[in-house]
Chain A
Amino acid sequence: MDQMTPSAEDDLDLEVFDPYTQAVLLKGGLLTTKHIFQYTEAELQKKFNLTAAATRRVFIEASKISTSNVNSGRYKEPHNQVLTTGCDHIDKALGGGLFKYGITEISGESGCGKTQFCLQIALTVQLPLSFKGAKSGAVYICTEDRFPSSRIQQMISNLRFKYQCDNRIDMSELCQTNYGDNILISHIATVEDLKKCIHEMLPKALLHRSIKLIVIDSITAVFRGEYTLSEAPRRSRDLRDLAFCLHNLSVKHGLWIICVNQVTSSMSDITGKKLVPSLGLSWANLVTTRLLMSKTPCSRYIEVIFSPHSGPTSVPFVVTEQGIESLN
Chain B
Amino acid sequence: MNRPIWTLPLSKSMQNKLNKLGIKCCEDLVDSLDDPELKSKYLRTHLESESEIRNMLKPPKPVTAAELDIECDSIATFCKAIDEILNGGVQLGRITELSGAPGSGKSQLCMQLCVSVQIPTCFEGLQSEAIYVDTNSNFSEHRITEMINAFVGHVSKSLSNDFKGVDNETLKCLNTAEMLSKIHRIQMNDLNQLHILYTTLERHPNVKLIVVDSFVMPLYPIENSLKKNTLVHNAIDLLQTIAYKHNLAVVLTNDLTTVVNENGTEIFPALGDSFAHRVQFRLLLSKIPNCSDGYTALLKKSIEHSRCAARFMISSDGVRDMLTEQQ
Contact = CB atoms under 8 A, between A and B. Distances in A.
B22 interface: no
A227 B102 CA distance: 25
A309 B143 contact: yes
Interface stretch (B61-69, B157-165, B251-259, B304-312): B251-259
Given A41-B234, A285-B102, A247 B316 contact: no
Interface in A75-119: 79-80, 82, 95-96, 99, 101-102
A70 B142 contact: no
Interface stretch (B28-36, B89-97, B120-128, B190-198): B190-198
A7 interface: no
A312 B142 contact: no
A56 interface: yes
A63 B190 CA distance: 9
Contacts of B5: none
A311 B293 contact: yes
Contacts of A41: 234
B274 interface: no
Contacts, number: 135
Given A60-B195, A80-B141, A99-B142, A281 B136 contact: no
Contacts of B293: 311-312
Contact of A45 (B11, B194, B257, B315): B11
B169 interface: no
B25 interface: no
A308 B193 contact: no
A22 to B, nearest CB: 13
A30 interface: no
The listed residue with most B CB atoms (<10 A of its CB), out of A20, A40, A66, A308, is: A308
Interface residues of A, number: 59
Given A80-B142, A96-B142, A240-B220, A67 B193 contact: yes
Contacts of A241: 220-221
Given A99-B142, A101-B137, A40 B230 contact: yes
B314 A311 contact: yes
A288 B106 CA distance: 12
Nearest to A42: B234
Contacts of B172: none
A286 interface: yes
Interface string A308-320: 1111100000000
A64 interface: yes
A95 B12 CA distance: 58
Contacts of A286: 136, 217, 220
Interface in B115-141: 136-141
A305 interface: yes
Contacts of A251: 137, 187, 189
A102 B138 contact: yes
B190 A306 contact: no
Given A40-B234, A45-B11, A70 B140 contact: no
Contacts of B220: 240-241, 243-244, 286
A245 B293 CA distance: 32
Contact of B195 (A18, A62, A280): A62
A64 B199 CA distance: 9
Interface stretch (A46-54, A124-132, A135-143, A148-156): A46-54
Q: Which 7 A-B pairs have the closest CB atoms?
A: A306-B103, A102-B137, A101-B137, A63-B195, A63-B196, A308-B138, A285-B255
